[in-house]
Amino acid sequence: QAGLTQPPSVSKGLRQTATLTCTGNSNNVGDQGAAWLQQHQGHPPKLLSYRDNNRPSGISERLSASRSGNTASLTINGLQPEDEADYYCSAWDSSLSVWVFGGGTKLTVL
Amino acid sequence: EVQLLESGGGLVQPGGSLRLSCAASGFIFSNYAMTWVRQAPGKGLEWVSAISGSGRNTYYADSVKGRFTISRDNSKNTLYLQMNSLRAEDTAIYYCAKDTGAFDIWGQGTLVTVSS
């Protein structure tokens, strides 16, 4: 069960914009869309967006998600120190009937 | 308040068994699919297993198929993961999560260590 592909790390400056990517295939990201999760060290993951660009209540409007074909993206505007975390994408694979995760991207705010 | 609380983790020898529990509160448990996700030390998230709201449908990652069994007791608002034939590579924090088409609520996790 191959996972989704995310870059291992992204570094951006304070108040800059970071765009994280997540690539799957037509059976997962391309079909069902992706969800994005944030995880700070020592804490459980937290849902940031689902079905491409739906934000749960309480999630900052600085975050937006999108999808183009089999690639999902998470954009974080006006980077703050608290945005420094690991970010994971996930999607349901309708062909394999399994959930798949990306390997995670470590976002560093310089 | 919507809450999930895992329990049952611990140290177990290779080949041993363990049963994890996840107590849910603050929502109508039977209305939602539930899932288990694990995270090995210093590694990323790995989906383990999922179960439909009724319990009729279950799904497993290849890495645990035939060894782990997911179940739920909707009368007790509790999710379970029976883990048999445990291996060193099963060592991880195990999280339960509420599934609304995405994992919107997570527990704090319970640590499972497989070692002799």
| Helices and strands (DSSP H and E) totals, chain A | 1, 9
Q: Which of A39, A51, A100 sits opposite B47 (nearest CB)?
A: A100
pLDDT tens across A83-102, in order? 999 999 999 999 999 999 99
**Least confident piece of the model among A3-17, A50-64, A65-79, B3-17:** A50-64
Query: How many A×B Cβ pairs under 8 Å?
Result: 56
Q: How far apart are CA A106 and CA A84, in angstroms?
A: 8
A28, A39, A86, A99, best to mutate vs chain B, most B CBs in 10 Å: A99
Pairwise CB contact (< 8 Å): B46 & A46? no
pLDDT tens across A24-69, in order? 999 999 998 999 999 999 999 999 999 878 899 999 999 999 999 9
pLDDT tens across B43-75, in order? 999 999 999 999 999 999 999 999 999 999 999
Q: Check: CB of residue B37 under 8 Å from CB of residue B45.
A: yes
Q: Which of A47, A86, A88 sits opposite B104 (nearest CB)?
A: A47
pLDDT at site A32: 85
What backbone torsions phi and psi does residue B88 show, to the nearest 5 degrees? Answer: -55, -35
Pairwise CB contact (< 8 Å): B50 & A51? no
